[in-house]
Structure 1
Amino acid sequence: MTRWGTSVRRGALLHPALSFNTSRCQNVSSTDGTVHPAAAQGAGPYRDSVLLPRTEFPMKLTGQNLIDREVQIQQECGFAELYSWQRERKAKKEYCLHDGPPYANGDPHVGHALNKILKDIQNRFEMLRGKQVHYVPGWDCHGLPIELKALGELGTSGLSPLQIRQKAREFAEGAIARQRAAFQRWGVMADWDKCYYTFDGTYEAAQLKVFQDMHSKGLIYQDYKPVFWSPSSRTALAEAELEYNPQHVSKAIYATFALATLPPKMAEAVGELGSISVLVWTTQPWTIPANQAVCFMPNAQYSVVKRRDSSQLLLVATERVSSLATLLSTELETVGTFTGTELEGGVCQHPTIPRKEVPLLPANFVTMGKGTGLVHTAPAHGMEDYSVASHFKLSVECIVDEEGRFTELAGPELQSLSVMGEGNDAVISMLKAVGSLVKEEECVHSYPYDWRSKEPVVIRPSKQWFIDIASLKDKEVLAKVRVIPESARGSLLAHLDRRPYWCISRQRSWGVPIPVFYHKETGEPLINKHTVSHVTQLFSEKGSDCWWELPLESLLPPEVLKKVSHLNYERGDDVLDIWFDSGTSWAAVLEGEALADVYVEGKDQIGGWFQSSLLTSVAVQKRAPYKALMIHDFVISEKGEKMSKSLGNVVDPDTVIHGGEDPSVSPAYGVDVLRWWVAESNVFSEVQIGPNVLNSARDSINKLRNTLKFLLGNLQGFDPRTQAVDPKEMHYIDQYLLHLLRNYSMKMTDAYNDFGAGRAIRLLQAFITRDLSKFYFSIIKDRLYCDPEDSLGRRSCQTVLEEILDGVTRSIAPILPHLAEEVYLHAPGHNEGETMFRSGWIKSSPVWRRPGLEEAVEGACAIRDSFLSSIPGRNAAEYELTIEIEPGLLFELIESLQDEPTSSYSQLTELMMSSQTTLTSALPRDLPADALISNGSFLINLEGGVIREDSAYQVAAVPTSMARCPRCRRYTSSSPDCPCPRCQTILTRAQ
């Protein structure tokens, strides 16, 4: 039997073989940085004996002081050398985040900040975890926007390709310099002297090796087929170079094609009804002169209907009859119904070209969602139309030139007219003149635009170089890739599915030349492994300018010159699509197996870099170049608007960091606020930025600084290397905080592993608010300030505070590297010159998880919560408690917190925050009349539920009869003028 009547052995529940499943206790209301009464006693006689927090760490930094401090930390803590240092250290594992190249076209913006900081947070975490990070920043340096800006400065008359390329290179280099400086200022960890650029000769050579491999496999070929063509840019475009304008307005028409020859089944059924016309609908009337067929859906139903207002007979899809009747404002009487397959054999008269007939043909791309269920088909000006032409051997004649104007093949009435303007109107007029125009209307729909010039594109056939991607659409390869968020996988597959082929040739000067030579007379291309290998070697040595600088006989390899004369050939003028440029970066930048752990880019790269990288890698390596894709959204204003200069809502990251002309409107937030904004945002949906968001981020960091300042202040003079207390000798509440810190560190690790920087911030804030500020800090201040400086209780507390400081600092380091290093400079226990980022991730020990400990403290917390609920709004320190617990497991747990029945200085009293605590198995019968009684129960769950005990307790709270101690301000003294026994002992020792 123990002295208080419980029959359970004291300490049995702290045996290491036992494990517990418990619920968290509630927390005492307090705020971060609250001042203990002893710290608020002004210039009292005992002030010098109280150990108040002291630190030079500033609570807050603002304005130029903040900017200067961040720059100073970058210099002092070796931000510029960190990447090289970690690449040289020994590590068991490598982590490769392959940098998608931003476009070298303009100044850095908040989209860059979102992307680069997201990557840096992950890289810094992986580096802290001990991995060797492979991260090489790069830039996409070729392409039309840069070329157009070069041309804009020079003018277009009489410029050679080399002149254009020189100016474009200078423009790109200027943009790269500005962007690189910004990325460095944002604290992005990299070797900024060893970046990759798509205009480097070595990069271009690696790109051509991929080209050669794909060409040798028959995946790259030249053909004449429809491509997206930009009249404004005078070049072919790939799908990824398009922007779809959802508000584009087209003149849509319903037009008739008279049936010159009825399908056999229809002729049998309708007899002598009269002339029947096929009704089609199109939003591109200008393509009617190029019509070669009308297509139907084989498994759909079609009806011949008679218009009540004109008796005209029309062939339309049965499913569309009702909608068309409403559209035409007349009744449509069905006179015959047929299956799609029964339309085969029908022939139509072209409406604007006399004596031209076009067939009715089956096609599975025909849909019934709108229109008439019969599709006007112009193979030269539609991708799906071209597939019909390929199958049925139809003519593919282009009637549109590179400027988007009708050619002479369209006829004298249309020649030279713009197909997107007056040419479109002229075709509508021609249809109206011959009686084929049934209805004209405006149609607002999504239409492709050139992403550079922001002008609409057309589809026209052109002799281009293509990649056959049919064999590369391996969905099983993509199935092995982790996609974050998983919901984006559908978009990746959809973009892949709808791409019939990839046009990789561009009619420009600023890019990587396609290494092909053409026979001057026949136009036949000369390209083989010898020519490509030779040009690849030249590019590696001299750069791609040599394509224009060297004579033709130098560009052709000796083994080819033995068989052909260079005089019969000329070099090609086309350059490679910039998506092929960037899509082969895995071959030029990645090491070893050319496989990255992750690619991290915006959702616009779903049809761009992610896809071009996948296709080229599957072609060469038969696998994806990445294990995972992390896809983020775009940045918008706080009002949810797209950022634009005209709206005046553009947020410049440089202004965010350094402030604007008026600090009251645009204060200097510093880099870490920008990084906190990135981390805290839900990057998988549109990310808002503006004054409210940035002010909130700054306030959150200042609150964090307050907590860190409290920790640093109470560690003044403490050296963890010599004064730390072994966890087994610590107070139980201190051990309990180590247990919570261990859980926190594991959750933080999991969050970062899942690209969950936002989750990491929420875990941080919850830990600081719930576990530290409102709980632990409120309880330990008396021990910190008023116990002897070198006492076990105070050193125990300081040991835990140092572990908390270290753990919290490391946990926020990937997000806030400047603040983390600043704290590390003030923290105890480090040698001079050490930096946080060279010292690893959060250090937690399995010994911090002690079975029984969690139950003891949380059981006491449950009792404390019952007590506090009985004295709402009052000071717990003004009460003496008597705690009754029935004999059993809970009694033994609570008994371990207090060595004697009644105490004012026990761990239990500290947890209760009361004047005095008595632990008993039965409440005394002579309780005062003003005693406040509260009760409850606490469930102990051992061995996963094998042992369960629901223990009841009662708490009697009585106003204390003790006086307030003039030193510690606790109600533990016999007289208000006399220090309490503990303080008397401390003061005596100090004399």
Structure 2
Amino acid sequence: MLGAFLRCRLPRTRYVWRGRAASGLSSNDSPGQRNKYRDTVLLPHTDFPIRRSPEDTGATELRLQEETNFSQLYNWQKARKTKKEFSLHDGPPYANGDPHVGHALNKILKDITNRFHVMRGYKVSYVPGWDCHGLPIELRALAENGDKSDSLSPMEIRSRARAYAEKAIEKQKSSFIRWGVMADWDSCYYTYDKKYEAKQLDVFFKMHEKGHIYQDYRPVFWSPSTRTALAEAELEYNQQHVSRSIFVKFPLQKPPPKLASAIDGSGTVSALIWTTQPWTIPANQAICYMPDTTYSIAKCGSSGELYILAADCVESTAQSLGTKFEVIQTFKGSDLEGGVCDHPTIPGRTSPLLAANHVTMGKGTGLVHTAPAHGIEDYGVASHHKLPVDCLVDEAGRFTAEAGADLESKVVLEDGNEAVIQMLLGTKNLMKEESFVHSYPYDWRTKKPIIIRASKQWFVNTANVKDKAQEVLKKVKFTPASAASRMTEMLDRRTYWCISRQRSWGVPIPVFYHKETRDSLINRHTVGHIIKLVEQHGSDVWWTHPIEELLPKSVLEQASKGASALDYEPGRDVLDIWFDSGTSWAHVLDDAEQRADVYMEGKDQLGGWFQSSLLTSVASRNKAPYKNVVVHGFTLSEKGEKMSKSLGNVVDPDVIINGGKVRSFSLIG
């Protein structure tokens, strides 16, 4: 049917087929003999040249697209009278940078799928979209302003970021159309569209109302280079990161009751720990041990001091310290219960010995330095034992005044590390410092190391929806099938999702805070009003409208009796862009079920868009947004490396289309 449609549009008189003679004799025959049968064999003849220049090829293709009304194919097939429908929901490419071969791979695979279904008689729905918010765009917009970026207001930042995104979208969109992708180009979706933003806030509140979204003060991945919290999907790991690792003594102040008789009169005894993050030592609140593991009291051959460490770590630790240990006594980890150590840098502070299941016997001593403000497992221990979770580090990754005069304003990953090491030397609690090469998380945008830092953020409690999400995934067909187990494993490891960002370019989290008590105000009345404003004016209203319009008296009376709008201020956090794109199903899929037949993206989206779409859909309405998930691979360079903009090894598809020369590349599944 598609072929017939295209043929009917071709001009029938342009290419003339004429009879042409061809000889059937050998080259040894005389000229007369060779010409004898020339006119008896008819071969086709065409005006097409044997070879075309790249420019001529491109021009001819464009002319044919125009003459065949190529751009109207999508509308033509959508107008057909058929009950068979097929929807492929387009995952939004990021509105940042030029189109590259990765875009081409994704869009062309989708186009092949859609055209296949058109030829099978289906009415295809395919609405292209763009992911428009987020830090990379904001940083690009700020970079154009140079050193004056810090003086820009949120609305100035948003205006510049939007303009940048619009330019990127225009360029990418024109390329996608040039590639011949069949789509509803007149109805594209954009995550900064006001109706899209309103739908997104509606999904947010449905999740909040069901208890899946909450606010908490806890450690999160934090990027000092961009001053915002990050989700795990926004990290990349540098396998060659070098840390300043240290062995530190925590002198035993109060021996564990079960070991008191063995330790009494033995001189100085210390718990020995190892860490790759010296700057976290001032925030230490405890030392953790594994209760079912065997521990030892070992005597140092060079100093005569006694150390407590795991029995399995005695030999390796002695080797690292360049000494020998003599094991005096062994005992179960549970016997350490009740012991208390002195803090190694802060006089008068103590660190209790506490049991914990996250302690491992790999690199280290089997005793784990625990700083609840700077570790996920550490925070769990603090919650259980009611320990303080004091964060001594600000948004820029510098020590605050609460850390003390010797540390204040120092960058924790730089001179802050050095200052803490010097403090340990001063108290004679530093055993050894050495460089340690290991895998370490970096901000995928700035390519700079992150830290773990406690702050007040908004979270999706994925533990609440994980079981339901894994249940609905069983009804989704994955291609390849192995991708289903990978996605399930990723969901298993994810206990929460930090969805708040401390930036300006995004959809605001619709919450108000009381100026004095800092209590949050968010309910169906306040959010419902904000959604109406956003639907009319876009999310800029959060920054442009006065508080009396954001929180009018009629709404406030329903939400909080006796309060005045002037008692409140709007929160300044915006939603994670994975939440942005993950709610696209609510805006784009307009059928009764709002479920796409297919989601088709690269394998990196198993932890990205596939997962955020699933979590928002399950949390708000208990079902998946897709029936099938197709996972494709990446394009590789001639060296077998993944092509990426950051590596500069991408291929420009327009060069290929116009007949230019490019480096070789391949595909990986």
TM-score normalised by structure 2 residue count:
0.90
Alignment counterpart, residue 543 of structure 2, candidates 545, 548, 562: 548
Superimposed CA distance per residue, residues 675-728 of structure 1 (whole angstroms, 9 cap, x where no aligned partner)? xx8xxx5431xxxxxxxxxxxxxxxxxxxxxxxxxxxxxxxxxxxxxxxxxxxx
2:7 equivalent in structure 1: none
Alignment counterpart, residue 100 of structure 1, candidates 86, 91, 97: 91
1:304 equivalent in structure 2: 297
Alignment of 1:646-665 (within 5 A): 649-659=649-659
- Pair 1:519 & 2:514 matched: yes
2:240 equivalent in structure 1: 247
Superimposed CA distance per residue, residues 616-641 of structure 1 (whole angstroms, 9 cap, x where no aligned partner)? 11101212212232233333321234
- Pair 1:476 & 2:471 matched: yes
1:79 equivalent in structure 2: 70
1:386 equivalent in structure 2: 379
Question: Aligned partner of 2:323: which letter?
Answer: T
Question: Aligned partner of 1:108: which letter?
Answer: P
Question: Aligned partner of 1:223: which letter?
Answer: D
1:275 equivalent in structure 2: 268
- Pair 1:598 & 2:604 matched: no
Question: Aligned partner of 1:561: which letter?
Answer: L
How far is the alpha carbon of 1:157 from its aligned partner? Answer: 4.9
How far is the alpha carbon of 1:342 from its aligned partner? Answer: 2.1
1:683 equivalent in structure 2: 668
Alignment counterpart, residue 116 of structure 2, candidates 125, 132, 143: 125
With over 3 angstroms needed to count, the CA separation of the structure-2 counterparts of 1:438 and 1:480, relative to structure 1, is farther
CA distance in 2, matches of 1:648, 1:347: 54
> 8 Å contact 2:529–2:555 — kept in the other structure?
no
Secondary structure of 2:640 counterpart: coil
How far is the alpha carbon of 1:37 from its aligned partner? Answer: 9.0
How far is the alpha carbon of 1:530 from its aligned partner? Answer: 0.8
Q: Which region of structure 1 is more displaced relative to structure 2, 119-128 or 422-431?
A: 119-128
- Pair 1:637 & 2:628 matched: no
Secondary structure of 1:367 counterpart: coil
Secondary structure of 2:626 counterpart: coil
Secondary structure of 1:473 counterpart: helix
Alignment of 1:361-760 (within 5 A): 361-474=354-467, 475-557=470-552, 559-562=554-557, 563=561, 564-592=563-591, 593-641=593-641, 643=643, 649-659=649-659, 682-684=667-669
Superimposed CA distance per residue, residues 639-677 of structure 1 (whole angstroms, 9 cap, x where no aligned partner)? 2345578987442222222255xxxx559xxxxxx9xx8
With over 3 angstroms needed to count, the CA separation of the structure-2 counterparts of 1:310 and 1:127, relative to structure 1, is same
CA distance in 2, matches of 1:111, 1:322: 50
CA distance in 2, matches of 1:209, 1:573: 18
Alignment of 1:823-972 (within 5 A): none
How far is the alpha carbon of 1:122 from its aligned partner? Answer: 1.4
> 8 Å contact 2:295–2:310 — kept in the other structure?
yes
> 8 Å contact 1:81–1:191 — kept in the other structure?
no
> 8 Å contact 1:245–1:448 — kept in the other structure?
yes
How far is the alpha carbon of 1:578 from its aligned partner? Answer: 0.9
Question: Aligned partner of 2:613: which letter?
Answer: S
1:139 equivalent in structure 2: 130
> 8 Å contact 2:234–2:444 — kept in the other structure?
yes
Q: Which region of structure 1 is more displaced relative to structure 2, 372-381 or 42-51?
A: 42-51
Question: Aligned partner of 1:82: which letter?
Answer: L
How far is the alpha carbon of 1:279 from its aligned partner? Answer: 1.3
Return 5+ residue gaps in structure 2 as ranges.
Answer: 1-20, 28-32
> 8 Å contact 2:513–2:568 — kept in the other structure?
yes
Alignment counterpart, residue 59 of structure 2, candidates 37, 61, 68: 68
Question: Aligned partner of 1:544: which letter?
Answer: S
How far is the alpha carbon of 1:39 from its aligned partner? Answer: 8.5
CA distance in 1, matches of 2:599, 2:509: 27
Question: Aligned partner of 2:81: which letter?
Answer: K
> 8 Å contact 1:601–1:632 — kept in the other structure?
yes
CA distance in 2, matches of 1:218, 1:537: 23
CA distance in 2, matches of 1:576, 1:172: 17
Secondary structure of 2:330 counterpart: strand
> 8 Å contact 1:258–1:276 — kept in the other structure?
yes
With over 3 angstroms needed to count, the CA separation of the structure-2 counterparts of 1:487 and 1:269, relative to structure 1, is farther
Return 5+ residue gaps in structure 1 as ranges.
Answer: 1-34, 668-673, 685-991
Superimposed CA distance per residue, residues 769-823 of structure 1 (whole angstroms, 9 cap, x where no aligned partner)? xxxxxxxxxxxxxxxxxxxxxxxxxxxxxxxxxxxxxxxxxxxxxxxxxxxxxxx
With over 3 angstroms needed to count, the CA separation of the structure-2 counterparts of 1:624 and 1:342, relative to structure 1, is farther
Q: Which region of structure 1 is more displaced relative to structure 2, 53-62 or 116-125?
A: 53-62
How far is the alpha carbon of 1:467 from its aligned partner? Answer: 1.5
CA distance in 2, matches of 1:261, 1:414: 29
Alignment counterpart, residue 190 of structure 1, candidates 175, 183, 190: 183
Secondary structure of 1:449 counterpart: strand
CA distance in 2, matches of 1:608, 1:326: 43
1:752 equivalent in structure 2: none
CA distance in 2, matches of 1:39, 1:481: 65
TM-score normalised by structure 1 residue count:
0.61
Superimposed CA distance per residue, residues 22-46 of structure 1 (whole angstroms, 9 cap, x where no aligned partner)? xxxxxxxxxxxxx999487894423
Superimposed CA distance per residue, residues 465-484 of structure 1 (whole angstroms, 9 cap, x where no aligned partner)? 22211111122233333333
CA distance in 2, matches of 1:59, 1:620: 60
CA distance in 1, matches of 2:368, 2:84: 57
CA distance in 1, matches of 2:541, 2:25: 76
* Paired positions, count: 635
Secondary structure of 1:156 counterpart: helix
How far is the alpha carbon of 1:175 from its aligned partner? Answer: 0.3
> 8 Å contact 1:224–1:462 — kept in the other structure?
yes
With over 3 angstroms needed to count, the CA separation of the structure-2 counterparts of 1:503 and 1:644, relative to structure 1, is closer
Question: Aligned partner of 2:287: which letter?
Answer: V
With over 3 angstroms needed to count, the CA separation of the structure-2 counterparts of 1:358 and 1:518, relative to structure 1, is same
1:164 equivalent in structure 2: 157
Question: Aligned partner of 1:444: which letter?
Answer: V
Q: Which region of structure 1 is more displaced relative to structure 2, 231-240 or 152-161?
A: 152-161
How far is the alpha carbon of 1:497 from its aligned partner? Answer: 2.9
With over 3 angstroms needed to count, the CA separation of the structure-2 counterparts of 1:596 and 1:644, relative to structure 1, is closer
Question: Aligned partner of 1:278: which letter?
Answer: A
CA distance in 2, matches of 1:490, 1:352: 47
With over 3 angstroms needed to count, the CA separation of the structure-2 counterparts of 1:303 and 1:79, relative to structure 1, is farther
How far is the alpha carbon of 1:374 from its aligned partner? Answer: 1.3
CA distance in 2, matches of 1:308, 1:561: 72
Secondary structure of 2:596 counterpart: coil
How far is the alpha carbon of 1:580 from its aligned partner? Answer: 0.8
> 8 Å contact 1:297–1:364 — kept in the other structure?
yes
> 8 Å contact 1:583–1:609 — kept in the other structure?
yes
Secondary structure of 1:417 counterpart: coil
> 8 Å contact 2:22–2:43 — kept in the other structure?
no
> 8 Å contact 1:293–1:377 — kept in the other structure?
yes
CA distance in 2, matches of 1:647, 1:529: 47
How far is the alpha carbon of 1:612 from its aligned partner? Answer: 1.2
With over 3 angstroms needed to count, the CA separation of the structure-2 counterparts of 1:458 and 1:182, relative to structure 1, is same
With over 3 angstroms needed to count, the CA separation of the structure-2 counterparts of 1:431 and 1:538, relative to structure 1, is same
How far is the alpha carbon of 1:582 from its aligned partner? Answer: 0.6
> 8 Å contact 2:23–2:35 — kept in the other structure?
no
Give the greater-gyration-radius structure (CA): 1
CA distance in 2, matches of 1:61, 1:92: 44
CA distance in 1, matches of 2:484, 2:317: 38
Q: Which region of structure 1 is more displaced relative to structure 2, 530-539 or 428-437?
A: 428-437
Question: Aligned partner of 1:97: which letter?
Answer: L
Secondary structure of 2:149 counterpart: coil
CA distance in 1, matches of 2:231, 2:63: 46
How far is the alpha carbon of 1:542 from its aligned partner? Answer: 1.3
